[in-house]
Amino acid sequence: MIVSDCPLTRDWNIYWNERIYKQFPILEEQSDAKCLSLKEYLVGIPQKFYSATTFENYYLFLLLLQKDVPNELVNFLKENAHEIDIAIETLNEVNGLDIHDCNIEGFDELGSLRFIENSIHYNYLQLNESVFHKFILLIAINNRKKRGKPTDGLDIYN
């Protein structure tokens, strides 16, 4: 049975789909969009602080790639599937930490610095090196190909 069709959750799914479509109207245009997992982006911390505009821009970018150069999109996803899985898992792990929207006033100055260095900086680097890199890489490759430039040895950090 498909979870969205389950009689026990059907009403909740309808409710959450309506809220998601209200927040991300572009998804309502896609008849086959499965988007209940976006519920966290409405109520979850830190997901609720994410930019809906950025999501829509990236989603439109993916739709345009799918329409204009579907083979390149499929090849990228196949070649980078493992790294993308790791990136999404890393994102979920960082999102699950209790460091978001927390109060560090309970620490002394040294404790605050340790917390920031060990929890904030470390996880920020994980987001940049694992998550951000994989999502921006597709944009960088596409832009270079549009300009007729090679993508071999592409280093998006420099």
- In this predicted structure, the answer to whether residue 7 has a pLDDT above a threshold of 70 is yes
Cα separation, 123 vs 53, in Å, equals 24
65 touches 58 (CB < 8 A): no
* Residue 42 is assigned to a structural domain of this protein: no
* Residue 129 is assigned to a structural domain of this protein: yes
Tally helices (H) and strands (E) across the chain: 9, 0
Count structural domains, the chain: 1
Domain that holds residue 130: 69-158
> Which segment, 44-53, 97-106, 134-143, is predicted with the most confidence on average?
134-143
Report how far Cα 70 is from the mean position of its chain's Cα atoms.
21
Q: Which helix (H) or strand (E) holds 18?
A: helix 10-23
Note the pLDDT of residue 139.
93
* Residue 100 is assigned to a structural domain of this protein: yes
pLDDT digits (tens, 9 = 90+) for 100-141: 777 777 778 888 888 889 888 999 998 888 888 888 999 999
* Residue 96 is assigned to a structural domain of this protein: yes
- In this predicted structure, the answer to whether residue 44 has a pLDDT above a threshold of 70 is no
**Stated length of the chain:** 158
| 148 conformational bin, left if phi > 0, alpha if psi -120 to 50, beta if neither | left
* Residue 44 is assigned to a structural domain of this protein: no
* Residue 1 is assigned to a structural domain of this protein: no
- What percentage of the chain exceeds 70 in pLDDT? 88
- In this predicted structure, the answer to whether residue 27 has a pLDDT above a threshold of 70 is yes
> Which segment, 3-7, 47-51, 52-56, 102-106, is predicted with the most confidence on average?
52-56
* Residue 57 is assigned to a structural domain of this protein: no
102 CB contacts (<8 Å, ≥6 apart)? Answer: none
Note the pLDDT of residue 10.
84
Coil, strand or helix at 11:
helix
Coil, strand or helix at 112:
helix
pLDDT confidence band for 25 (50 / 70 / 90)? confident
* Residue 37 is assigned to a structural domain of this protein: no
27 touches 20 (CB < 8 A): yes
Q: pTM, whole model, 2 decimals?
A: 0.65
- In this predicted structure, the answer to whether residue 1 has a pLDDT above a threshold of 60 is no
- The mean pLDDT value of the chain amounts to 82
